[in-house]
Structure 1
Amino acid sequence: MSALSFTCRKFVIAGCLLSLSTLAGAVDLQERLPERLSKVKAGEQQIVLLGKKAEVGKKAPAFKVVDAGFKQTELKDFKGKTVLISVVPSVDTGICSLQTKRFNTEVAKLPEDVVMLTISTDLPFAQKRYCQQEQIDKLIVLSDAVWRDFGSNYGLLIKDMGLLTRTVLIIDNEGKLVYQQMVDELAKEPDYDAALNALQQVISKS
């Protein structure tokens, strides 16, 4: 077996083990989190969300996620910056891809002290592949697959699916959650104009 083949097999095995580990963790987490019936629909069915909903006007809940290299990333890493978070169920689906591409385009127009993140529960391997294929190189794509910490702390984790519900959040440079747009249908794109106008208002006040 060549060294390259061996390395590839190691990554495949590691990915499978991580998938099993995160699935087991998600099941355990689901049993411990509060539930609420949301206004969000998947088709004709209302979805149940797990975790406590974050409140606009209050301090944004802390969270930890990982980047493509499995390096832990936390909200505090962006202290002093305005942060827009584009939350998607999976970057490998059509609507989520459109949303990610749109914000990747928009971030280039913004000041350097504004950060845009995309967060999903996709494995970091999948996110890295997607970003390379689609040339997503301006916003930061992060994974909530390891701990489901972001979804739990913001009340955005979908029960029985392990995915995040489509949302746009804005956190100002003082760490306060100032905007939350939870899309009422999983198969719909967010209102980009509303989110970007809200972001401009936050920037103008900072």
Structure 2
Amino acid sequence: MSVERSGVVTFKGGPMTLVGPELSVGATATGATLIGAGLAPVNPLEAGAGKTKLFIFVPSVDTSVCSLEGKKFSDASQAFGDDVAVFLVSADLPFAQGRWCQAEDVKNLTMLSDYREMGLAKSWGLYLKELGLYARAVYVVDKNDTVTYAEIVSEVAAEPDYAAAVAAVQAA
């Protein structure tokens, strides 16, 4: 039986249910196999081993807020250097993610899809039961896979705190 949490997020003011336990600062991040470019399986914790990892979770890159968020984090991540891995995760098919990257000229984010099982969404407590999508969230995971920053945006249609997330990456 999975954990369900209410009262954490809304979508356009309506209450949503998050499925899965909350992943808090100080916890060890758990991995899952997601789908990357070319339908290749990718475990982001393994792909980013030895690096600080910035996880950007969005409902869909085909929405204006998600697109804007992806572009803002893409711009910010240009200053991070090679010791930071940046992953944008959604339930979009990898083909849609690739089209979005091409249309927005985004080349420095590793796009990952959880469309098959939503396994990472459920294990990190970010699965929106009513929508079948990710909640909007940002996590920073250090080189030892410990969560050092976590923000689940309370209104799915709102943007995250970019400055806090970037500061957390720089501090990790």
Partner residue of 2:58 out of 70, 88, 97: 88
Q: What corresponds to 2:110 in structure 1?
A: 140
Q: Report the Cα distance in structure 2 between the residues aligned to 1:38 and 1:149, rounded to whole angstroms.
A: 22
Q: What corresponds to 1:34 in structure 2?
A: 3
Q: Report the Cα distance in structure 2 between the residues aligned to 1:36 and 1:120, rounded to whole angstroms.
A: 20
Q: Report the Cα distance in structure 2 between the residues aligned to 1:83 and 1:99, rounded to whole angstroms.
A: 17
Greater RCO (Cα-Cα under 8 Å, separation 6 or more): 2
* Large movers: runs of 4+ above 4 Å: none
Query: How far 1:187 sits from its partner (Å)?
Result: 1.1
Q: Is the 8 A contact 1:171 1:179 kept in 2?
A: yes
Q: 1:141-160 residue pairs with structure 2 within 5 A?
A: 141-160=111-130
Query: How far 1:77 sits from its partner (Å)?
Result: 2.1
Q: What corresponds to 2:132 in structure 1?
A: 162
- State the one-letter code of the partner of 2:4: E
Q: What corresponds to 2:70 in structure 1?
A: 100
Partner residue of 1:73 out of 42, 62, 74: 42
Q: What corresponds to 1:56 in structure 2?
A: 25
- State the one-letter code of the partner of 1:196: V
Query: How far 1:76 sits from its partner (Å)?
Result: 1.7
- State the one-letter code of the partner of 2:128: I
Q: Report the Cα distance in structure 1 between the residues aligned to 2:95 and 2:81, rounded to whole angstroms.
A: 30
Q: Report the Cα distance in structure 1 between the residues aligned to 2:141 and 2:7, rounded to whole angstroms.
A: 22
Secondary structure of the residue aligned to 2:148 is strand
Q: What corresponds to 2:159 in structure 1?
A: 189
Structure with bigger strand share is 2
Q: 1:175-186 residue pairs with structure 2 within 5 A?
A: 175-186=145-156
Gaps of 5+ in 1: 1-31
| Rg larger in structure | 1
Q: Is the 8 A contact 2:35 2:94 kept in 1?
A: yes
Q: Which sits farther off after the overlay, 95-104 or 45-54?
A: 45-54
- State the one-letter code of the partner of 2:161: D
Secondary structure of the residue aligned to 2:160 is coil
Structure with bigger helix share is 1
Query: How far 1:160 sits from its partner (Å)?
Result: 2.5
Q: What corresponds to 1:47 in structure 2?
A: 16
Q: 1:134 to 1:44 in 2, by over 3 A?
A: same
Secondary structure of the residue aligned to 2:131 is coil
Provide the identity percentage. 37
Q: What's the CA shift string for 1:161-206, capped at 9, x where partnerless?
A: 110000000000111111101111111111101111111111xxxx
Q: Is the 8 A contact 1:92 1:130 kept in 2?
A: yes
TM-score (ref. length: structure 2): 0.95
Q: What corresponds to 2:95 in structure 1?
A: 125
RMSD: 1.1
Q: Is the 8 A contact 2:53 2:85 kept in 1?
A: yes
